[in-house]
Structures are given as structure tokens and as C-alpha cells.
Structure 1
């Protein structure tokens, strides 16, 4: 995190509402555009961005951001969009086609934020024990079920669950409390 991020985070923790306003003014547009690029629903996207900042304010005391505030806010927005897609349940397969690309390339700044977030996640995952890392990647990157992973690696599904649980605990510790809740 930059010194500016640390200062504004410290101000947030001291209940400085102006710090929240500064963050909102700085990031609402880019966060809105990144969510609108996926959902194409103005009101829903406005609500998502509002929720991100409300969550930031409500969880300010326990925030432990290890990445930049910009990347953190982007990640929160991204996972709220995913939650919205799941909530709608009228999901069409084409909605998921190139979802990562549509999120990532809304504009140059979101591309950079996505890169920073992916880098932090990959860096954290690379610290996992080999077997745990393999199980996590098969689960998250290839969307394999626990059963499929167990069969592929000749291990029990319980062992797969344990590896994924361990990976998520490490990510939670590395990426921060609020983000990890959204990530899970």
C-alpha cells in the first residue's frame, strides 16, 4: 500500500467521514464503469458501488488491506457483481463468456487494478504447499468439482476440501478480512 492509502485508511478507522467521501469521489466512476460493463443496468450498478462504500465504512475498524485501496475497492466491486449475477439466476451462458476480459478492459485503470489484484492472489497462492496449490487451481481456475479433483489426484474428497479450506485461509490472511468474505 502507498503512504496515501495508509493515511486515508487510518483516517477511515478514526471515523473520518471526509476520508470516505474522498475515496468515493476518487473511485466511484471507475468502479461504476467496471460493473456497468458487465451488468448493463445503471441502477443495479449504482447500488453495488454504494454498497461497496457502505461496507467499507461499516467494516473500517477491522480493515486489513494488504493491497492498494484502489485494487481492494475494485475487487469488492467485482465480487459484488458476481454475487448479483448469481442472485439473478436468469444467467445465460454467454454472460460468462469472456467475463474476465470484459471486467478487466473497461478502461486502462480497471485493467491495471485487475492486474494488481490477480498478481496479489497469484503471489499468495504461490506460497501454498504444492498439493494445496494444485487443488486450489483445479478448483478455481478450471472449475473442477471436489469429486473430479479427488479422482484426478487420487485423493479423497475430504482431502480436497481441506486443501481448499487451507488455501482460502491463507488468502483471507493475505488479502484482508472484508475482501476475503467477498472472495469466498
Structure 2
């Protein structure tokens, strides 16, 4: 690896595409701090900047031999970081705008009917996602959450093991949880505003 230190980016890229991870490490060491500083200047948040730079390098590493760069390696990496930074800012702004408008709406007055409507919509959305689960997983999940049966009762009813029941419920929760992250923040906001 020491012989590679003075190599050009293009030579290192060629070695990396051939599977040489030491070449990737050198590219990483060459550009990590510069990319981090660049992201930090825009975001003003060290943790977010680190996360974004790490995402770019993980993506670069995962592409491996398939990475297709028609510009200098430095330009490619800077562009990737810049894109991620602007995408992050855009998503953060949209999320904040939604929360701000919801807060404005909620502070405008009595909305007990609206609360019931929101709860109904969230429940309907959750039900739709539950219906999209694989059949056996859906059946186990509904027996657990709707019928409120224990793992043993579900195992006996479906002639499967306790371990299978636990695994099916765990998998269902893993599939459902990411879909409702935004709903959770809305529900929490409603809860704190109303009570």
C-alpha cells in the first residue's frame, strides 16, 4: 500500500475497480476530511456532515468495479456530497414546512373533529399496510394485535411454534415501522397539543 500513496486518483480508481481495497482506503483518506469540511460549511452541523460523507463513500465502495466516473475522482466525490447535502436540506425543509403548517392549523382553534378524522385516516393507512403483509405474517400479526392472543395461543391456533410466531410478529413490525415514522411524529404532536 505504501507504494500507492503517490499514485494519481485515476490510477487508484483503476486499482479500486479491479478490487484493490487499499486503493479505496487511499482515496478515502485523501478526500474524507475535505468533503467533510465542504459539507459542514453548508450544513453547519458536524454530525449531519459526517453522515452524508459516510453515505457517499459507502455508496462509492458498494459500486466497486461498477463505478462509472467520466470526471476526476475529486469532482465525482464533491458532486456526490453536494447532491446529498442539497437533497438533505430539501427534505428537511419540506418536513419542517409540513410540521409548521400542521402546528399553525392546530393552534388556530378547536379541532376535536379534525383529531378524530386524523386518527381515522391513520388507522385506515395502518390497516392498508397490514393487509399488504405476506399472508401468514398478516394472520399472525392480526391475531396478536387485534385478537390480542398470546404467542402460545397463536402457535396452538395455527399449529406453528412460539418461535415462528415471535419471528413473524418481529418481521411485521420491521416492515410496518418505517412506513409510519411520519405518522408517529404527527400523533405525538397532536397528543402534546391536545392534552
Query: TM-score under structure 1 normalisation?
Result: 0.45
Query: TM-score under structure 2 normalisation?
Result: 0.43
